Amino acid sequence: MPREHSRAFAPGRVNLIGEHTDYNRGLSLPFAIAAGVTVRAEALAPGAGGEQRIEALASDLGERDEFPLAAPAPAEGWRAYVRGIVAELARAGWPLVGARLQISGGVPPGAGLSSSAALEVALCLALIDLASPEEAGAQRERLERTELARLCARVENEWVGAQTGLLDQLASLYGSVEEALRIDFSTLEITPVPLRLGGWRAVVLDSGEPHVHASSGYNQRRAECARACELLGVESLREAFPDDVRRLPEPLARRVAHVIGENERVRLAVSALRADDLPAVARLLNASHASLRDDYEVSTPALEAAVARLLAGGAAGARLIGGGFGGSVLGLLAPGLDPPAGAREVRPGPGAHLVND
């Protein structure tokens, strides 16, 4: 039996380290944050002709959308996510019912904290729970969550035009309190790693430059990695070795050097966290940023300025997070230091869940 209404929350994420590795079947270490998107879904009676509709209201933007449940047409902006999720859930065989959706959120769009993944995931959970609450219980299981992450990534790829990987969605779906997630994108194995910060603080600072995947250099970087794979005769850069870098022309050589180095930095960061060695984690953040700036070339003057502000404010390590080309930077502050003006503290929080009362 469908419910009358359902409410779901999905968090944004901060990636501690392991950037531009997800679509290269590499390693990442993200955590879910407290800020996220809430979707309230209310069952909507069919129209006079029996047609089921979706009405959506983006509360923070004061914008709305309306479309037939059976045939969502492509759209721009936030509407592309809503229509894409509805279409892909239906295509995957999830039973859906007409609904009025109210979307509200505390993840600033464009800040590089995955407001879009949070929106996709919250929509999925609310729509599934509204139509079939018993399924919504089952989807807590691992396989279903990973399937949902894939479905959300298809929406990014096919409805929004961003060739993103699974990092943001998996982080939002699997997030857990006081833990980061080591994700191996070659197997999709997810291993929680305790994030014991002690007196240290993780802070994010918005560069003020909005980050938009579809129109940034993100898709181009992805294409460069695919080209490097072709030239090396491998299926993914996970199979590339440091020696391979010399066989590639520029800029592909530097792109591959970043990916190989970044995977190694994730391994080292996991070991450092297990040993409570936060200074080592901070040094790895700096190394990751240098690689993203010099080899992967996804930094911008605004991101550099934000990193410089965090370091000047006493951060032991700082780096751009997410796809780059705008968005936020992450810094690690040693005990006793206050976050610089404009920076806000982030802590690992729970993954996506229903919040029905």
Residues that bind ligand GLA (CB under 6 A): 19-20, 22-23, 164-165, 167-168, 322-323
Q: 243 exposed, middle or buried (CB, 10 Å; 0-12, 13-18, 19+)?
A: exposed
Of 168 and 244, which has the nearer Cβ to ligand GLA?
A: 168
Of 129 and 295, which has the nearer Cβ to ligand GLA?
A: 295
Of 167 and 228, which has the nearer Cβ to ligand GLA?
A: 167
Candidate list 22, 65, 129, 168, residue with the active-site label = 168
Question: Strand 189-194 relative to strand 179-184: parallel, antiparallel, unpaired?
Answer: antiparallel
In whole angstroms, how close is the CB of 271 to ligand GLA at the nearest point? Answer: 21
CB of 120 closer than 8 Å to CB of 155: yes
Of 165 and 351, which has the nearer Cβ to ligand GLA?
A: 165
In whole angstroms, how close is the CB of 149 to ligand GLA at the nearest point? Answer: 10
Of 41 and 352, which has the nearer Cβ to ligand GLA?
A: 352
CB of 348 closer than 8 Å to CB of 32: yes
Does the annotation mark 168 as catalytic? yes
Catalytic residues: 168
